[in-house]
């Protein structure tokens, strides 16, 4: 399979859809619905997802779909699946703040092998396919080289409806406030991961996530020289709900801190 060719097509779909999202917002009338506590969807999320699915259909024959917004027509398949978040950062989108992004990944037997994140507000498209490196608007990018957490900028997402790990999470914030260059929380996990892949951030961690939040970003980071795992050091970051990612030099120290605080509750 020619992943490079498919990736370029997916870039077109992501950028075209992202521009549509922007124009539709400018026309107003978002029709915000509440899916759960602090969990929103707009009619633009649904329109964006429909456009993406139409574009992807047939690109990889037999591929299934794992979609954020409910869709009875498309199901998950065994070998290949498209994993789509039509707008990652919907709360930002509703409030008219950056970042918010289209995130599309292709997974083969559960391993993300192609990822595209188009951040709409800055008009930046990040993309990578397995073995091909990571690009930002067509230029190769790499993770940072910062070797120590003490000298790093850490990104995360704040809990907003799953408070089951709030105590250890607050301890992790306490730790990074005192022992790093600082913490950032932009509100789009796909963009956070993309920013790690091009070296803007040194690391990212969050719990309470879904496959569509992280699948594309994982490919971007791995192909740019970084590492990812779940909080246990395993590879269950797509469906396990948590992820830690960092540049290759920083990863072991970062993982150890997250694992001690978030899993072993040593604080
Ligand atoms: C959310 C964003 C946010 C993260 C949440 C996600 P959505 O996705 O990625 O940064 O903190 O956990 O659910 O709902 O805007 O697609
Ligand atoms: Ca999301
Ligand atoms: Ca979303």
C-beta 188 within 6 A of ligand 1:
yes
Q: What is the domain-level CATH number for residue 92?
A: 3.30.540.10
User: Do the Cβ atoms of 250 and 153 come closer than 8 Å?
Assistant: no
- Answering whether pTM is above 0.95, one says yes
The residues that bridge with 229 in the sheet, in sequence order, are 244
C-beta 112 within 6 A of ligand 1:
no
Ligand 1 test: best mutation among 184, 189, 192, 215, most atoms within 8 Å of CB?
Answer: 189
- From 141, 172, 189, give the residue that closes a domain: 141
Residues 128 and 244 placed together within one structural domain of the fold = no
- Reported as a single tens digit per residue, the pLDDT across 50-69 is 999 999 999 999 999 999 99
CA-CA-CA-CA torsion sign (43, 44, 49, 52): positive
- From 141, 158, 192, give the residue that closes a domain: 141
Q: What is the domain-level CATH number for residue 249?
A: 3.40.190.80
User: Do the Cβ atoms of 257 and 175 come closer than 8 Å?
Assistant: yes
Q: Is the pLDDT of residue 93 over 90?
A: yes
Q: Report the number of secondary-structure helices (H) and strands (E) in the chain.
A: 7, 14
Which domain does 74 fall in, by range?
3-141
Q: Is the pLDDT of residue 38 over 80?
A: no
C-beta 226 within 6 A of ligand 1:
no
Residues 201 and 252 placed together within one structural domain of the fold = yes
Q: Which of 27-31, 43-47, 145-149, 216-220 has the lowest mean pLDDT?
A: 27-31
Q: Is the pLDDT of residue 32 over 90?
A: no
- Reported as a single tens digit per residue, the pLDDT across 132-161 is 999 999 999 999 999 999 999 999 999 998
* Spatial distance between the Cα atoms of 243 and 211, rounded to a whole number of angstroms: 10
Residues 232 and 118 placed together within one structural domain of the fold = no
pLDDT at 74: 86
pLDDT at 70: 83
Element housing 170 (H / E): helix 166-179
Q: Is the pLDDT of residue 197 over 90?
A: yes
- From 100, 121, 141, give the residue that closes a domain: 141
C-beta 99 within 6 A of ligand 1:
no
Residues 157 and 199 placed together within one structural domain of the fold = yes
pLDDT classification of 30: cutoffs 50, 70, 90: confident
Domains identified in the chain, total number: 2
What is the number of the ligand 1 atom nearest to the C-alpha of 91? 15
Residues 115 and 241 placed together within one structural domain of the fold = no
What is the number of the ligand 1 atom nearest to the C-alpha of 93? 15
What is the number of the ligand 1 atom nearest to the C-alpha of 186? 10
Residues 166 and 126 placed together within one structural domain of the fold = no
C-beta 208 within 6 A of ligand 1:
yes
């Amino acid at each position: 399979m020619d992943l490079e060719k498919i990736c370029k097509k997916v870039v077109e779909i992501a950028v075209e859809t992202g521009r549509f999202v922007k124009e539709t917002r400018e026309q107003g009338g978002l029709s915000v619905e509440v899916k759960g506590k602090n969990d929103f969807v707009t009619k633009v999320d649904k329109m964006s997802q429909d456009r993406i699915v139409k574009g992807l259909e047939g690109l990889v024959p037999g591929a299934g779909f794992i979609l954020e917004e409910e869709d009875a027509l498309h199901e998950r398949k065994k070998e290949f699946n498209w994993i789509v978040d039509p707008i990652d950062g919907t709360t930002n989108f509703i409030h008219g703040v950056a970042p918010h992004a289209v995130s599309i990944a292709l997974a083969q037997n559960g391993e993300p092998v192609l990822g595209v994140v188009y951040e709409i507000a800055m008009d930046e498209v990040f993309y990578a396919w397995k073995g091909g490196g990571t690009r930002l608007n067509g230029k190769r990018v790499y993770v940072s080289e910062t070797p120590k957490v003490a000298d790093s900028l850490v990104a995360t997402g704040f809990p907003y409806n799953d408070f089951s790990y709030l105590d250890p999470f607050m301890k992790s914030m306490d730790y990074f406030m005192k022992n790093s260059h600082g913490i950032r929380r932009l509100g789009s996990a796909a963009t956070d991961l993309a920013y790690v892949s091009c070296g803007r951030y040194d690391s990212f961690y969050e719990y309470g996530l879904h496959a569509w939040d992280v699948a594309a970003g994982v490919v971007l980071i791995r192909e740019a020289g970084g590492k990812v795992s779940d909080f246990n050091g395993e590879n269950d970051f797509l469906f396990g709900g948590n992820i830690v990612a960092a540049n290759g030099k920083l990863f072991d120290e970062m993982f150890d801190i997250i694992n001690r605080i978030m899993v072993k509750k040593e604080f």
